[in-house]
Structure 1
Amino acid sequence: MQSALDPAGHEAQELYLLFLGMCAGGAVVFISVVSLLIYAVHHQRRVHSDRVVARLILWGTVTTVAVLTVLLTFSLALWPGLRPVQAEGQPAIEITVTGHQFWWDVRYQTPDGQAVVVAANEVRLPVGERVFLTLESADMIHSFWIPALAGKMDMVPGRSTHLSLLATRPGVFRGPCAEYCGTSHALMAFSAVAMEPAAFTAWLAARRMPSPTAQAAGLQAFLSNGCGGCHTISGTEARGKIGPDLSHVGSRETIGAGILPNTVQSIARFIKEPDTIKPGVRMPSFRMLPDEEIAGIAQYLKGLQ
């Protein structure tokens, strides 16, 4: 799920080729140096003429420059594929990802810039179609990285950085935060789900509608305990902007930003003791609530498909 050596995207494939090329160039240099070292150790000791010394220096200089030139040319040739830019007028899916301590806000946008779907801790993209991401930070420097799809990109407060992705095969891939950002930095991950274009279009259309649920008691418990002050659930009175958007949360791969499987038991556990699961998280614990009430809220959230 998280390997730069198993590329599933165009940019990751270019990085993989660059890695192989650098390894090959490094191997040439290593073998040459070791060979010269072995020769120097085992060769009969004698004084070489100035001409031989000059030839050795020339050979070493030419070889070094040649290897570095080849590697530089190779890397520059791959560069356009590593950081492709969006052509003017080119239709594209645009996604804005904002890093928070310690979760990810994800917003899918139409070409006019209006947000059509708001999600959290999960990025979905169609296979074979280029996606352009705008990366931002709400607090400190984070780093967005999906090793199987592309290289990493920093998210700097007050600035917007950009990344282009082109998935080449469907799958679910893990993305970590690659810049230390606090106590639970290692517990800040997300899922990247590459889908067939038709499935992605259907998913996007479904996410624009409020998620259906029959757990009225769970919704009432969610609202009465103040959860709606921090979280938004489309189609309800919950309109909080502090924490992740929980609309359709039941359909996500994980909860807690990639650290727990999305099950009723995991949701209940996170509600009860978020500070134990993810130290430094801003969400307060709800240990004071009866287990039955926590279970009702968890079942309601899991039902938001």
Structure 2
Amino acid sequence: MNIDNLKMFCAVVEEGSITQAAKKGYVSQPAVTKQIRQLENVYGAALFDRSENKLILTEAGKVLYPYAKEMVLHYQKSKDAIQYLLEEQDIKLNVGASLTIGEYILPELLKRYLNSHENIKFHLALSNTPDILAKLKMNEIDVALVEGMLEKDKEDQELLTEKFSEDDLVLVTSYDHRWKDRTEINLEELTEEKMIWREAISGTRGLVEHYLHERGVLVNIQASIELGSLQAIKSSVEAGLGISILPKLTIAKELKYSLLREVKIKNFYLKRDLYVVRKKTRFSQAGLDPFVDYIKKSSDIPK
């Protein structure tokens, strides 16, 4: 079996044409056609229907494609593993993270990890949790660091999900807000202020809304602004445009420098679990297991 033929087959499927696959691989069209023919001879079946000047996967091609992707992936992993063992080349780990983790946990964590693992290179992808998990399932990343996973994702048999930390959700106001001298407020008092929310698809917002809804408070909450970034929310709260409930790890600097104030809510206990997620596979990417172990044991992450 020629692994290059499998790679080219995958490229043709993904590019949608032999011409585009040839351009991407810097080879001639006849060379690509030859590789596909060789693969068809190995399997004894046509992999593409070439009628009507269109290139369409046959049923045999559809069956082969996921196997081919997996074989190419594991071939590369095997090469990486040997080179990592021999310390002859750097290993690249593709890490995906939700925005909060990517902005507030990963920078310091990676800095410390790289101090003792100089032959590891990281490529980071930041997005919301659903997008990051989708990238993991498509093998675009090696590991995902996310929060607020849906139950269906936690129970996905394709994924190995491990909690590595948790984070409190807290109420923040401007530093000179009228509640500044209060030891705590009652949950119902939230309805007296305008709430600044993340966008509707935010997992954190969904968690807060569910909590407030169960206690009969959400229906009376006044929405002030809906913003797409935590930094924008913090700036708006600081300016006195409203209040917000945010992950505590994201406001450490603002609390330290008296830009925002945390206000306690009586009997309010709300946490987010943070997860490290991998695909279940017999062979993991070289260097991945030590990195995951470091994340789970790291004292740099709030527990």
Query: By the TM > 0.5 criterion, same fold?
Result: no
TM category (shorter chain) comes to under 0.3
Higher relative contact order (CA 8 A, sep 6+): 2
Name the TM-score, length of structure 2 as normaliser.
0.25
